[in-house]
Structure 1
Amino acid sequence: MTVKKQASKVLVVDDDENIRSLLEILLKHQGYEVFLADNGADAMEIAESEVPDLVVADIMMPSTDGYELCLQLRSTPKLSQVPILLLTAKTEMQDKYSGFRVGADDYVTKPFDLTELELRIKALLRRKKMAADFKDPILAIGDLAINRNDFSVRAGDNLVALTPSEFSLLEYLMSHAGQVVSSKELLIEALDYPSGQGSSEIIRTHIKNIRSKLEKGDPPTYIQTVSRQGYIVRMPDKQ
């Protein structure tokens, strides 16, 4: 008897009916189970009921916009680790980084290329699924420890909540402790960006957010910057 693979659930939130219909057709064709909402308030109701594997949300919406939706999802325990992909018509990089600061994992700019959107969705879902594949889920460097099954992070005595993308970056840096890792490598290997896409500013913003959650002051204790080269998690000194 063949067990049918359960389809990933994707919640699409956009006040533009044409965009919702387009994404519904695209995602169902890819085999996803799709839920639709035209505003953030309805999206939260659906998310709490269905617990989607991914949320794709527009930023500019009436009432509850995409930024506020991110904050609400991240503050809801059972939804806090759901990957969030923002759709934005804004072209200024600062506007896009505002999404990262409130908990988004990635963004695609409107008008978007359907192939790029498919790749970003697949990458976010793949990283979420990979967590269940680790035989030894605990990774610890000094007093910094992560659990790759439940996405928990402990820095000293403190439990820290990271977004899925932040967790992926920290996990990659810890897996390569003692090595300097470039922004380009982090984009490709940790965040699954195709070669040539993304920018070092994306990594810089995510690292800044991770540090704000892990670190109590300057200079950084866990993730250090190596000028013009990248980032490093240093191995603790042997006693």
Structure 2
Amino acid sequence: MSKNEKKDTTKKPTFEESIGFIDQEITKRRGKWNLTSLHWMDYDDVSQIIRIHIHEKWHLYDASKPLGPWVNRIISNQIKNLIRNNYGNFSRPCLKCEAARPNNGCDIYNSQCAECPLYAKWEKTKKSAYEIKIPLALEDHSHEVSPVCFEDNINLGKFAANLHEEMKTKLKPNEWLVYEGLFINNNTEEEVAKEMGFKSNEKNRTPGYKQIKNLRKKIIEKVKKCLKKDEVDYL
């Protein structure tokens, strides 16, 4: 050891000595657990799972560094993992889809339904598991009469990228500009109309509203046709 190096003599506390502080930090983060629809798991259960996990990882704690950040990182990660494992893996794909709109709306299909191949696949393979996890109405108790499959993982990011690439080859130049503005850049119809140079002679009307409406209708029809033919890879 060189003269400039100092031996770290910090005494590492035991898990038992730190349990009071750990419990305090776990309690502070109760608000991060928002999956209250799980009637069989409350925050007391979550807290116990986190305590056990911290205990199992205690040998990794570096006593030369503050305990708080290390503990809080584990708490946050465990809460995220529990929410993902008990809800996110089985929730419908619409929750992460750019075309989704409030009140179960959809830019492409008007409503979130089985016309969409992603929704249809979720309904076939994961909806039963979702309804088992979340205490909602179970239509005809489908989980009791049909097998539940978990092997299909839909990569929504990849699907969206593939869809955009496919539509770029199928849409006319002006249709693509509208598609890109509305569904990729998430601009408003008014912003897209302005970029396209559309105008309107009608009073109290957004410039280009008719052109955008007609182009949007054509685009959605082409997207539906493309998805119906299963021309986009979503795995």
TM-score, normalised by the number of residues in structure 2 = 0.24
Q: Looking at CA atoms only, which structure, 1 or 2, has the larger radius of gyration?
A: 2
| Highest RCO, 1 vs 2 (Cα 8 Å, sep ≥ 6) | 2
- Greater helix proportion: 2
TM-score, normalised by the number of residues in structure 1 = 0.24
- Greater strand proportion: 1
